[in-house]
Amino acid sequence: MSRFDCLENSSIEIILFKFPCDQVKDSAPETRTISTSK
Protein backbone atom coordinates (compact mmCIF):
# COMPACT_ATOMS: atom_id res chain seq x y z
CA MET A 1 0.00 0.00 0.00
CA SER A 2 1.66 3.20 -1.18
CA ARG A 3 1.13 6.62 0.41
CA PHE A 4 -0.72 8.26 -2.51
CA ASP A 5 -3.56 9.65 -0.38
CA CYS A 6 -5.62 10.15 -3.55
CA LEU A 7 -3.73 13.27 -4.60
CA GLU A 8 -5.12 15.20 -7.52
CA ASN A 9 -1.65 15.24 -9.08
CA SER A 10 -1.09 11.54 -8.49
CA SER A 11 -4.68 10.55 -9.25
CA ILE A 12 -3.57 9.18 -12.63
CA GLU A 13 -0.72 7.24 -11.03
CA ILE A 14 -3.09 5.73 -8.48
CA ILE A 15 -5.41 4.56 -11.26
CA LEU A 16 -2.48 3.17 -13.25
CA PHE A 17 -1.45 1.18 -10.20
CA LYS A 18 -5.09 0.09 -9.74
CA PHE A 19 -5.21 1.54 -6.23
CA PRO A 20 -8.54 1.47 -4.38
CA CYS A 21 -9.37 5.16 -4.23
CA ASP A 22 -13.00 6.16 -3.80
CA GLN A 23 -12.16 9.86 -4.08
CA VAL A 24 -10.34 9.42 -7.38
CA LYS A 25 -13.07 7.19 -8.80
CA ASP A 26 -15.73 9.75 -7.87
CA SER A 27 -13.57 12.80 -8.52
CA ALA A 28 -12.05 11.87 -11.88
CA PRO A 29 -13.96 9.05 -13.58
CA GLU A 30 -12.77 10.27 -16.97
CA THR A 31 -9.14 9.97 -15.94
CA ARG A 32 -9.72 6.27 -15.29
CA THR A 33 -10.85 5.75 -18.86
CA ILE A 34 -7.80 7.60 -20.23
CA SER A 35 -5.36 5.54 -18.18
CA THR A 36 -7.15 2.30 -19.14
CA SER A 37 -7.01 3.25 -22.82
CA LYS A 38 -3.23 3.69 -22.63
**pLDDT values of the chain reduced to their tens digit, one per residue, 38 residues:** 455 555 555 555 655 555 555 555 555 555 555 555 55
Q: Which pTM does this prediction carry?
A: 0.14
CB contact set of 13 (below 8 Å; sequence gap of 6+): 4
Torsions phi, psi of 14, nearest 5? -60, -45
CB contact set of 28 (below 8 Å; sequence gap of 6+): 11, 15
CB contact set of 21 (below 8 Å; sequence gap of 6+): 4, 6, 11, 14, 15
